[in-house]
Amino acid sequence: MAKKPVKVLIANPRGFCAGVQRAIEIVEKALRRFGTPVYVRHEIVHNRFVVEGLQQKGAIFVDTLDDVPAGAPVIFSAHGVPKSVPAAAKRRNMLFVDATCPLVSKVHREAEHHQKTGLHTILIGHAGHPEVIGTMGQLEDGAMTLVETLEDVAALNFDQDTPLAYVTQTTLSLDDTAEIVRVLTLKYPHIATPKKEDICYATTNRQVAVKALAEACDRVIVIGSPNSSNSLRLVEVAERGGALAKLVQRATNIDWNWISDARTIGITAGASAPEILVDEVIQALGRHFDITIDHVTTSTENITFKLPAILLKDAG
């Protein structure tokens, strides 16, 4: 039977961001420099495929520093860690490499600056996400207040003369955050705002691209992990753009009933999803449909981040 013709539109940019690329490279270089095993505190990035690939090369993922044997090197994930973590590692004379994305570190420094200048920081983000735990952990308990929703903003009861500033998680929805910021600044007009947006370039670019993509599609497949904040936001943005959207970890998760009547299928990938998984999904679509491929490009990226000095000494 002839395969049904389907148009496949691929979003640009998609997939790996500079922070994720750097974090993976840090683990790979650390394995070459220090030998195996190298310990990694928490998933280095939120992608099982990436994590399993690094495990095969000799990385061991652990939840706490207590799980790292004495003398073994440990890497902190791209999401950032509370200040107490490197402090504890130093106390124990551990060899550690911090793979926190520089754009997350930027938010950490902003929060510190606010505290030094006497401002109470409001963090817009998702409770329990490792990045939020890391950012909250830059200041002592009580120095930062987390808001997730408009209701949380409504419940804030700071006096009008309380000096305030806000920062945000880097991987939030642009539209939802703009609304929270609008209501927050309406409530506290004197609140200090970030000099440069905290939502990172990669989150922004991927959301803009999927929005444009979704307008031309009836289904959008977002490749990413269920615990990846920026991937979940891509699903929401695609749906707001008018398409039905689903998150899949890889091609084997595609629901073929859901997609069977599609005429135009969009594909994008979260910032921690490798391109090999995008290729896998395209190939799977090609086995089911007679596909023609096109791209929707809304921006190009050429950002890279330097590796930590300790790994730059390595020629490998």
The residue (of 206 and 211) whose beta carbon lies closer to ligand SF4 is 206
Query: Nearest residue by C-beta to ligand SF4?
Result: 19
Nearest distance from C-beta of residue 237 to ligand SF4, angstroms: 15
The residue (of 101 and 259) whose beta carbon lies closer to ligand SF4 is 101
The residue (of 18 and 51) whose beta carbon lies closer to ligand SF4 is 18
Residues marked active site are found at: 131
Provide the terminal-to-terminal Cα distance of the chain, rounded to the nearest Å. Answer: 52
Instruction: Identify residue 314 by its one-letter amino acid code.
Output: D
Torsional class of 165: left (φ above 0), alpha (ψ -120 to 50), beta (otherwise): beta
22 burial class (0-12, 13-18, 19+ CB within 10 angstroms)? buried
The residue (of 8 and 110) whose beta carbon lies closer to ligand SF4 is 110
Contacts of 137 (CB under 8 A, 6+ apart): 81, 82, 83, 84, 85
Binding residues (CB under 6 A) for ligand SF4: these are 17-20, 78, 101, 103-104, 170-171, 200, 202-203, 230, 271
Nearest distance from C-beta of residue 249 to ligand SF4, angstroms: 18
Nearest distance from C-beta of residue 68 to ligand SF4, angstroms: 23
Nearest distance from C-beta of residue 116 to ligand SF4, angstroms: 23
- Return the closest-CA partner of residue 207 out of 255, 240, 161, 253: 240
Nearest distance from C-beta of residue 230 to ligand SF4, angstroms: 5
